[in-house]
């Protein structure tokens, strides 16, 4: 696979590269990001390799991330039209202003105009709701986004970090009313965070939404730099978000990643990224980096082909505990099909089912 093996995102005609360059690290305002020069170097390399998908948000590095992208991509029209720029609204850049963030019409309109200014473009390719706003009716959010699409300021819309039931409600309303539908979901997904497989991934598959995972290395936990030996002393820039996952489960996963990395002559990070990209529903995985060498290491995952047995070994070690009714539904075939095979899925005979015609009432 290469960055030029483009895929259409969800049920849309938008072509995106299989890896998306995440720009949360663009800018040093948060204390651990990349300089402007390094950010531009990474964008140049990503585009040179054929990548065309860049993801940011209005609040990343206090708005500087969008400006860095705008300075490099937005002001060059020939470059701008070849790049798919995704950004997000919801985050508030104005302390004390209740309408500075969220998903109400006023906040969306204002956030969009400010993002367009920082990105130095007159349109946003994919506009994400960064998180669910429980204080705003979803109809208001959807209609405001539809207005932006009709005005030509936004091309496509998607939701990030939103419950599956709210995503389903929104998509149903949008289609019923003829408003712009969602084309994708952005959610956290990695060998450490797999609970999205309970509701969000099935919702995306059912509703025709492409999935763009964020934090596929869980903030660097799966990069291979953390070990049982250095876990207590290794400094993590993102603090608790990383250190809380340096436990035995994670180290068991890291051990297997190291074994597979050796077998494929690559890095644990590349194996972890290859696993995420192979998951059902995943369209384009968001990779982040602070240096060019980190970006190159992540892009190496495009050359990794895990076998079914290798994927199964990682699946077993990282098996998540899902909410009800996930486990119940796994056993439903037993009393639904009573030993029959349907769509290639075998079932066993339910022990409590009638064994003879005489036992049936």
3-state DSSP of the chain: CCCCCCEECCCCCCEECCEEEECCCECCCCCCCECHHHHHHHHHHHHHCCCCEEECCCCHHHHHHHHHHHHHHHCCHHHHCCCEEEEEECCCCCCCCCCCCCCCHHHHHHHHHHHHHHHCCCCEEEEEECCCCCCCCHHHHHHHHHHHHHCCCEEEEEEECCCHHHHHHHHHHHHHHCCCCEEEEEEECCCCCCHHHCCHHHHHHHHCCEEEEECCCHHHHHHCCCCCCCCCCCCCCCCHHHHCCCCHHHHHHHHHHHHHHHHCCCCHHHHHHHHHHCCCCECCEEECCCCHHHHHHHHHHHHCCCCHHHHHHHHHHCCCCCCCCHHHHHCHHHHHHCCCEECCEECCCCCCCCCCHHHCC
Residues in a beta bridge with 210 = 184
**Which tokens sit at 149?**
């699409």
> Is position 60 annotated as part of the catalytic site?
yes
Pick the catalytic residue from 6, 60, 156, 189.
60
Q: What is the CA radius of gyration of the chain?
A: 22
Which tokens belong to 305? 């082909």
Q: Token digits for 89?
A: 């609204």
- Cα–Cα distance between 84 and 13 in angstroms, integer? 12
Catalytic residues: 60
């Amino acid at each position: 696979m290469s960055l030029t093996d483009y895929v259409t995102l969800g049920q849309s005609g938008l072509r995106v590269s299989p890896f998306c360059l995440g720009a949360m690290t663009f800018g040093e305002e948060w204390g651990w990001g990349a300089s402007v020069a390094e950010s531009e170097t990474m964008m140049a390399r990503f585009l040179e390799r054929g990548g065309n998908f860049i993801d940011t948000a209005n609040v990343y590095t206090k708005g500087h991330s969008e400006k860095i992208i705008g300075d490099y991509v937005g002001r060059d029209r020939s470059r701008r039209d070849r790049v798919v720029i995704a950004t997000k609204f919801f985050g508030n850049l104005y302390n004390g202003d209740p309408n500075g963030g969220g998903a109400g019409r006023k906040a969306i309109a204002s956030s969009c105009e400010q993002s367009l200014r920082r990105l130095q473009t007159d349109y946003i390719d994919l506009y994400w709701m960064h998180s669910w706003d429980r204080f705003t009716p979803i109809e208001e959010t959807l209609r405001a986004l539809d207005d932006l699409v009709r005005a030509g300021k936004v091309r496509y819309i998607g939701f990030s970090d939103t419950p599956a039931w709210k995503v389903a409600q929104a998509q149903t309303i949008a289609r019923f009313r003829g408003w712009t539908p969602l084309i994708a979901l952005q959610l956290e997904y990695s060998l450490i965070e797999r609970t999205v497989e309970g509701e969000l991934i099935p919702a995306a598959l059912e509703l025709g939404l492409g999935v763009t995972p964020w934090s596929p290395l869980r903030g660097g936990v799966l990069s291979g730099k953390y070990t049982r030996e250095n876990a207590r002393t290794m400094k993590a820039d993102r603090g608790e978000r990383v250190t809380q996952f340096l436990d035995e489960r994670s180290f068991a996963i890291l051990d297997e990643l190291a074994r597979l990395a050796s077998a494929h002559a690559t890095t644990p990070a590349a194996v972890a990224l290859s696993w995420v990209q192979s998951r059902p529903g995943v369209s384009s995985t968001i990779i982040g980096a602070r240096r060019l060498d980190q970006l190159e290491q992540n892009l190496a995952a495009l050359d990794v082909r895990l076998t079914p047995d290798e994927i199964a070994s990682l699946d077993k070690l990282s098996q998540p505990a899902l909410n009800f009714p996930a486990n119940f539904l796994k056993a439903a075939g037993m009393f639904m099909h009573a030993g029959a095979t349907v769509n290639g899925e075998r079932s066993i005979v339910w022990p409590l089912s009638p064994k003879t015609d005489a036992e049936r009432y």
